């Protein structure tokens, strides 16, 4: 056989295999990408799981998957994994080679470095033929969401829990009930203790009744984060890290309250990512389901400002007919905010301020300091 025929046959075989992979290469191929959890807190480590299944007789010489992921998720470098980072997004690339009827599962360790609502919607897939040429490409749609909640800090690191703003008043109102101030009975609620049950009233009404210990035994807590970091700031938030710190404090306070059976709500004068321009208000409720709802809401918040803090206090919280214990996390208290606080207190609400300042340790510095102290002890 002459060389010319060999070249012709080789070219024909190359063309046929190229056309085969270009036309049928993605048939029987299943691509999945998921996280091992639907939610976590800032600082937690999780796994991103890639599953590739080739359900046909033909092999896949090479398959490259590419996707764009927010830089708030930090990938540990692994074999056959390439991550190129930008300021907001990073390109994630991984390379596979599959034999017939083969299933490959890869797990990538990911560090949740920033609070947010992360969505993975598309994967760009590129396939090559037997000689290494790119034969076909497609965009594979997926629907994966990950909620990263604010970082939880130790409650002793929050100024209100170790300063004069808490004092005896806060302890009496929403941390401990007063066993001596009783005014009638009410129906049992989640979190009420067994020793508060009024057995005679329960027998009469055929419903579980407990002593109503005035306001001190029936508190309602509202945590408000002011996204304005200065009095003159409007629209664009000039110090996002300070707002992130406030959200970490708010999440910690909410968990602290729910763990003690206290109904807790949340307010934010910015907006949710999918509802621009609309301030956030979650009415106080009790139970772990409420805490999960608040965490999900905090994860979806945009660092934004929809209205001034005083307007939010005046037109949002005054709609509450029952008295609230309000914790306001703010970087400043202007005269107008002070006037709004005075109006709230005149309506029967109690307002406690958590001051936000960069003079406090940052969250990362707190972790380093705690680790160093543990090492010395």
* pLDDT in the model for residue 193: 67
Contact assessment for residue 269 and residue 247, using Cβ atoms and an 8 Å cutoff: no
Rounded to 5 degrees, φ, ψ at 117 are -115, 100
Give residue limits of the domains in the chain.
3-149, 155-176+218-376, 179-213
Helix (H) or strand (E) run with residue 315 in it: helix 309-316
For strand 73-75 and strand 134-149, is the pairing parallel, antiparallel, or unpaired? unpaired
294: left (phi over 0), alpha (psi -120 to 50) or beta: alpha
Within 8 A by CB and 6+ apart from 309, the residues are 226, 228, 269, 328, 330, 337, 340
CA angle 175–180–183, rounded 5-degree value: 95
* Edge-to-edge strands, sheet with 29-35: 29-35, 45-54, 102-112, 73-75
For strand 134-149 and strand 39-41, is the pairing parallel, antiparallel, or unpaired? parallel
Helix, strand, coil content of the chain in percent (nearest 5): 30, 35, 35
* pLDDT in the model for residue 170: 38
**366: three-class secondary structure by DSSP:** helix
Instruction: State the CATH architecture for 3-149.
Output: Sandwich (2.60)
Pull the structure tokens for residue 106.
Answer: 């890869």
Q: What does the longest C-alpha to C-alpha distance in the chain come to?
A: 108
The residue count for the chain = 377
* pLDDT in the model for residue 298: 98
* pLDDT in the model for residue 84: 60
What's this model's pTM, rounded to 2 decimal places? Answer: 0.75
**241: three-class secondary structure by DSSP:** helix
Instruction: State the CATH architecture for 155-176+218-376.
Output: 3-Layer(aba) Sandwich (3.40)
Per-residue pLDDT of the chain (377 residues), as tens digits, is: 678 878 888 888 888 888 888 888 899 999 999 999 999 999 999 999 999 999 999 999 999 999 888 889 998 865 555 666 555 777 888 888 999 999 999 998 999 999 999 998 889 999 998 888 888 899 988 889 999 999 999 877 887 643 333 333 334 444 444 444 455 677 877 666 676 788 888 888 888 888 765 544 457 899 999 999 888 877 788 899 999 999 999 999 999 999 988 999 999 999 999 899 899 999 999 999 999 999 999 999 999 999 999 999 988 776 677 788 999 999 999 999 999 999 888 888 889 999 998 654 444 444 433 433 343 23
């Amino acid at each position: 056989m002459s060389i010319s025929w060999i070249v012709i046959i080789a070219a024909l075989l190359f063309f046929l295999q190229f056309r085969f992979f270009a036309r049928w290469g993605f048939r029987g191929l299943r691509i999945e990408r998921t996280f091992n959890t639907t939610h976590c807190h800032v600082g937690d480590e999780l796994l991103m799981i890639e599953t590739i299944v080739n359900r046909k007789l033909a092999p896949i010489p090479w398959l490259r998957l590419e996707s764009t992921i927010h830089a708030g998720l930090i990938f540990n470098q692994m074999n056959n994994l390439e991550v190129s980072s930008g300021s907001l997004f990073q390109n994630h690339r991984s390379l596979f080679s599959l034999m017939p009827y083969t299933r490959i599962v890869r797990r990538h360790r990911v560090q949740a470095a920033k609070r947010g609502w992360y969505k993975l919607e598309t994967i760009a897939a590129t396939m090559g033929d037997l000689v290494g040429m790119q034969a076909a490409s497609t965009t594979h749609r997926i629907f994966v969401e990950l909620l990263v909640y604010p970082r939880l800090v130790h409650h002793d690191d929050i100024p209100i829990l170790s300063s004069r703003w808490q004092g005896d008043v806060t302890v009496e109102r929403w941390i401990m009930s007063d066993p001596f101030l009783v005014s009638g009975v009410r129906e049992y609620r989640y979190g009420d203790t067994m020793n508060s049950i009024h057995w005679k009233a329960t027998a009469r009404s055929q419903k579980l009744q407990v002593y109503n210990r005035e306001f001190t035994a029936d508190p309602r807590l509202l945590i408000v984060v002011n996204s304005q970091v200065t009095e003159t700031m409007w629209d664009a938030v000039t110090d996002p890290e300070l707002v992130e710190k406030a959200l970490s404090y708010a999440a910690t306070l909410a968990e602290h309250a729910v763990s003690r059976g206290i109904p807790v709500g949340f307010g934010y004068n910015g907006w949710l990512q999918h509802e621009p321009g609309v301030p956030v208000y979650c009415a106080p409720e009790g139970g772990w389901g409420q805490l999960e709802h608040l965490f999900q809401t905090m994860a979806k918040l945009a660092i934004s400002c929809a209205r001034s803090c005083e307007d939010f206090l005046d037109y949002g919280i005054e709609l509450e007919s029952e008295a609230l214990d309000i914790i306001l996390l703010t970087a400043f208290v202007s005269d107008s905010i002070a006037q709004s606080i005075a109006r709230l207190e005149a309506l029967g609400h109690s307002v406690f301020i958590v001051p936000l300042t960069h003079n406090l340790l940052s969250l990362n510095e707190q972790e380093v300091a705690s680790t160093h102290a543990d090492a010395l002890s």
